[in-house]
Amino acid sequence: MEMHDKKANLPRRAAALISGGLDSMLAAKVVLDQGVDVEGVNFFTGFCVEGHTHAIRKKDRSRQKRNNALWVAEQLGIKLHIVDVIDEYKDIVLNPKHGYGANLNPCLDCKIFMVNKALTQDVLDRGFDFVITGEVIGQRPKSQRADTMPVIARESGAGDRLLRPLCALNLPPTLPEREGWVDRDKLFGFHGRDRKPQMALAESFGFSDYAQPAGGCCFLTDERYAGKLADLWQSRGVRDYDFDDIMLLKVGRHIRPAPHYKLIVGREEGENNFLSGYRWRFVYLDTVSHTGPLTLVDGEPTDADLVLAARIAARYSQGRSASEVSVNVHHPSGARRELRVAPLLPTELEPAWHVGG
């Protein structure tokens, strides 16, 4: 790739993968400070923990709603391109060449995909000379290991145009270093899971308010979420999903009393409001006599199943201790009927029905 060799007076251009976390922020800053023209790229896979989930649950609405990747871009003074890869990403999730991590997280394939996408961003007017990531050897058991670093570089197509400023001193010099686009002496040799070097570097830059997501930034690393996705595939007999599927897995209690249907029970007002947006697609239940959840029914329930579904919905309503609760059953066609049911007793709710544990 020969993009700017004839424009020796122009700064080299780098695409920085920006997740919104500290490491990618530091990596971009280290290179930015060397006079490189850095732009951020952030990928929206549909499994991102940020964004959507803040908007759904009422209890989360008091939280800061900032998009951390945008916030990082502002702090660094760089542009940020947020790229919708929901459709393309399906192949990564469904067919990861390098397999999954502890759950359904295809971390190695994901990183290869993102580096490749960043390098070949066709939405930008100009190409990039190299790609920056915040990877640190030994930090992630699946994708950030000494033996996976060259795999990512090779299979992404970036080769030695992939620079990891935070651990570069533990790796062979890359093209940007050999060509003098960046000064290797000003890069770092971080390794392992210890966060202190990053925190010290952040402090040296004056960064104090950075995101530290405890559970990572991807739902696929979450055991319960992965369990729900695996259940979805098993119940449908096909490993596939659409955007609504993966959104709904983030919301509510998922209860499967039988293989042919499951319930998604809103846990609070925000989730009920969100689930109500899917009324056109599912049979849904709402409690009439008592305040209660909105419950979607995914699958092909029989009339008897809907009675059990109503009893479960009643069990999560304010009428859980009442002898009888009125529940409306709505069909996507607009048809509606009222059931009067006894709320399910806690002992009748089989633990195995709870999808994802």
We find the least distance from the C-beta atom of residue 87 to other proteins, in angstroms, to be 13
Q: What are phi and psi of 221, to 5 degrees?
A: -85, -5
Binding of residue 67 to other proteins (CB under 8 A): yes
We find the least distance from the C-beta atom of residue 214 to other proteins, in angstroms, to be 21
Query: Angle 22-32/68-76 helices, nearest 10 degrees?
Result: 20
Scanning 42-50, 152-160, 183-191, 207-215 for contacts with other proteins by CB under 8 A, the matching segment is 42-50
In the set 1, 37, 58, 83, which binds other proteins (CB under 8 A)? Answer: 83
Binding of residue 217 to other proteins (CB under 8 A): no
In the set 5, 33, 74, 91, which binds other proteins (CB under 8 A)? Answer: 74
Is residue 30 within 8 Å of 187, Cβ to Cβ? yes
User: What are the CA-CA distances from residue 220 to residues 49, 75, 171, 236, 239 (Å)?
Assistant: 9, 28, 29, 19, 15
Scanning 66-74, 129-137, 206-214, 232-240 for contacts with other proteins by CB under 8 A, the matching segment is 66-74
Is residue 27 within 8 Å of 19, Cβ to Cβ? no
- CB closer to other proteins out of 53 and 289: 53
Binding of residue 279 to other proteins (CB under 8 A): no
Binding of residue 276 to other proteins (CB under 8 A): no
Site string for other proteins, 143-182 (x = CB under 8 A): ----------------------------------------
Long-range contacts of 252-255 (CB under 8 A, 24+ apart): 252/293, 252/296, 253/316, 253/354, 254/228, 254/354, 254/355, 254/356, 255/312, 255/349, 255/353, 255/354, 255/355
- CB closer to other proteins out of 32 and 309: 32
Query: Angle 149-156/107-119 helices, nearest 10 degrees?
Result: 40
Q: Kind and range of the H or E element at 257?
A: strand 253-258
The strand pairing partners of 253, in sequence order, are 265
Binding of residue 71 to other proteins (CB under 8 A): yes
Binding of residue 120 to other proteins (CB under 8 A): no
CA distance 33 to 36: 7
Q: Which residues contact 278 (CB under 8 A, 6 or more apart)?
A: 244, 248, 284, 296
Scanning 45-53, 133-141, 337-345, 348-356 for contacts with other proteins by CB under 8 A, the matching segment is 45-53
Binding of residue 304 to other proteins (CB under 8 A): no
Number of amino acids touching other proteins (CB under 8 A): 25
CA distance 131 to 38: 9
We find the least distance from the C-beta atom of residue 256 to other proteins, in angstroms, to be 25
Site for other proteins in 122-141 (CB under 8 A): 123
Binding of residue 84 to other proteins (CB under 8 A): yes
> Which tokens sit at 182?
């960046």
CA distance 192 to 150: 17
User: What are the CA-CA distances from residue 282 to residues 84, 156, 218, 236, 244 (Å)?
Assistant: 26, 40, 27, 15, 12
Binding of residue 44 to other proteins (CB under 8 A): yes
Binding of residue 70 to other proteins (CB under 8 A): yes
We find the least distance from the C-beta atom of residue 41 to other proteins, in angstroms, to be 12
Binding interface with other proteins (CB under 8 A)? 44, 48, 50-52, 54-56, 61, 65-67, 70-71, 73-74, 78-84, 123, 277
